[in-house]
Amino acid sequence: MGEREKPKQWKIRQYYEQDELVDRFLELGQYREVVPTYEQGYGKRPDAINFPGDFQQFVENGAVAFHASVEHWRNPLLIDSVSDLDDLREDWDLVIDIDCDDSFKLAKETAKLVIEELHQHDIQNVSVKFSGNRGFHIGVRAEAFPEKVDSEEITLMYPQLARGIVEYLREELKDEMIQKVREYGFEEKMNDEEKQDPYQVSDIENDWGQRHLFRMPYSLHDGTWLVSLPIKEEEIDEFEKSDAEMDKIDFETNFLDSYEENEATNLVIQAMDFLEERREERREERMENSDKEFEAPEEAIAEKHFPPTIKNILEGLEDGRKRGLFILINFYLTVGYSMNQIETKIWEWNERNEEPLREAYIKSQLRWHENREEIVPPPNYDSNGYYKDMQVYEGDSLEEKVSNPVSYVFRKIKNRSSDEDEEEDLVCPYCGKEYEMESYYKKHVQECFE
């Protein structure tokens, strides 16, 4: 059978059976959560690669790609059985994901800007790899960061510090990124009503959360079948996607292999100062608004106007159900729903959860909120421990502009033309039942038809 005639699975397996590749995976995978991807989706979590046989078993089972945690764990297999992740986490790497749909050349320019900014902050050991699709991953090893900041262990500052570092870099590079986006002819794509956002075109992603994963170096990308290939930073300009075809790989370059202790200290200090400035700005905004009593609308706002993140919660949760309940009750109250309406909505939502919350717990929470004298909006999008950590944050173009799910609803209604943008009610053609959420409408119509 000729090379071109070999089935894809055989070629993938042949690629993953190379001894040098197995060595690379074992080296990087130590003390990390490693998650295989099969053609039908992710494998179970948590999992790990401790021995060559572990990796070989994944490949024999049909794994086509592999992701690893940026966090280093004392024992990754204990993650599900230990509720306190801080107790298991021993370290974390910074892996910055650059993603650009429109231009691979612009992705290269973005990667170079990030690397240069890291160098400006005294970090000389920067790892680079092609993501396997639309961009690059930029890495700084855990050992480059100080062990403590203001007497606090840096392991306990994850993911807030990692997210803050990326936010700081985005802010520092924003003007240069705007110029680059213009140079490549995508200015219109970064314009919105209030500001120019270059990261709508070439993103430096900041969706960090607990157990954050990145595609492992030398893993295949399960969409393009290209290798997530480590390269040297001086090779970025000349690199082409075709260089990452699996039959061209030599495993010469490592990822996250070099560092100098504490070389990222300056970056950490600058990022923390930036975060404190942002916190102070938010405190001032809250003080300005503290005397303004929140008033819910007189009529309940239809669910079709809800933000995607809230709709994700309403689909049901596997983890974070208590936080989800807290969010939903406060959200419904602030968008005009009565307690009777909310109670009905909450019981329906609880049935969609992977494992429903106990009836007594829900009743106690509903009672507590009913007895409160004031209406309080749900947590902001950037609140630690909520939407992003729960992995329900959608972050559409409007959600990225507002601070809170309630702000999303009011902004959406305000901006919507009463005539042109009015959405039609979703009415079942078989029984006439009306729906406001399209996902529920489609499910009902299918069941009604059957």
Whether the Cβ atoms of residue 336 and residue 301 lie closer than 8 Å to each other: yes
- Closest to 404 measured CA to CA, from 302, 309, 305, 281: 309
Say yes or no to pLDDT of 428 above 70. Answer: no
The pLDDT assigned to 395 comes to 80
pLDDT band at 299 (very low <50, low <70, confident <90, very high): confident
Per-residue burial over 51-73, b if 16 or more Cβ lie within 10 Å, else e, is eeeebeebbeeebbbbbbbbbbb
Q: Which domains does the chain have, with CATH numbers?
A: 3-270 (3.90.920.10), 303-416 (no CATH)
- Closest to 16 measured CA to CA, from 73, 54, 50: 54
The pLDDT assigned to 7 comes to 76
The pLDDT assigned to 195 comes to 80
Say yes or no to pLDDT of 443 above 80. Answer: no
For 362, counting Cβ atoms within 10 Å of its Cβ (0-12 exposed, 13-18 middle, 19+ buried), the class is buried
The pLDDT assigned to 438 comes to 55
Say yes or no to pLDDT of 228 above 60. Answer: yes
**pLDDT tens, 29-55?**
999 999 999 988 889 889 999 999 999
Per mean pLDDT, which range of 5-9, 141-145, 286-290 is the poorest? 286-290
Say yes or no to pLDDT of 417 above 70. Answer: no
Which range, 154-158, 291-295, 392-396, has the best average confidence (pLDDT)? 154-158
Rg (CA), the chain: 24
Residues 6+ apart with CB under 8 A from 444: 428, 433, 435
Per mean pLDDT, which range of 113-127, 199-213, 289-303 is the poorest? 289-303
The pLDDT assigned to 426 comes to 53
Mean pLDDT for the stretch of residues 156-166: 92
Say yes or no to pLDDT of 24 above 70. Answer: yes
- C-alpha–C-alpha distance, residues 17 and 183, integer Å: 44
pTM for the complete prediction? 0.67
- Tokens 């070999």 found at: 6
**pLDDT tens, 71-101?**
999 999 998 765 678 889 999 999 999 999 9
Amino acid identity, position 315: E
Average pLDDT, the chain: 87
As a three-state string, the secondary structure of the chain is CCHHHCCHHHHHHHHHCCHHHHHHHHHHHCCCCEEEEECCEECCCCCCCCCHHHHHHHHHCCCCEEEEECEEECCHHHHHHCCCHHHHEEEECEEEEEEECCCHHHHHHHHHHHHHHHHHCCCCCCEEEECCCCEEEEEECHHHCCCEECCEEHHHHCCHHHHHHHHHHHHHHHHHHHHHHHHCCCHHHHECCCCECHHHCEEECCCCCCCCEEECCCCECCCCCEECCEECHHHCCCCCHHHHEHHHCCCCCCCCCCCCCCCCHHHHHHHHHHHHHHHHHHHHHHHHHCCCCCCCCCCCCCHHHCCHHHHHHHCCCCCCHHHHHHHHHHHHHHCCCCHHHHHHHHHHHHHHCCCCCCHHHHHHHHHHHHHCCCCCCCCCCCCCCCCCCCCCCCCCCCCCCCCCHHHHHHHHHHHCCCCCCCCCCEECCCCCCEECCHHHHHHHHHHHHC
The pLDDT assigned to 415 comes to 67
Other C-beta atoms lying within 10 Å of the C-beta of residue 269: 14
The pLDDT assigned to 146 comes to 97
pLDDT band at 447 (very low <50, low <70, confident <90, very high): low
Higher pLDDT, 299 or 72: 72
**How far is C-alpha 202 from the chain's CA centre?**
16
- C-alpha–C-alpha distance, residues 256 and 129, integer Å: 10
Percentage of the chain beyond pLDDT 70 is 86
The pLDDT assigned to 402 comes to 83
The pLDDT assigned to 41 comes to 83
Say yes or no to pLDDT of 273 above 90. Answer: yes
Whether the Cβ atoms of residue 393 and residue 405 lie closer than 8 Å to each other: no
The pLDDT assigned to 5 comes to 41
- C-alpha–C-alpha distance, residues 313 and 74, integer Å: 31
Say yes or no to pLDDT of 418 above 90. Answer: no
The pLDDT assigned to 420 comes to 39
Amino acid identity, position 16: Y
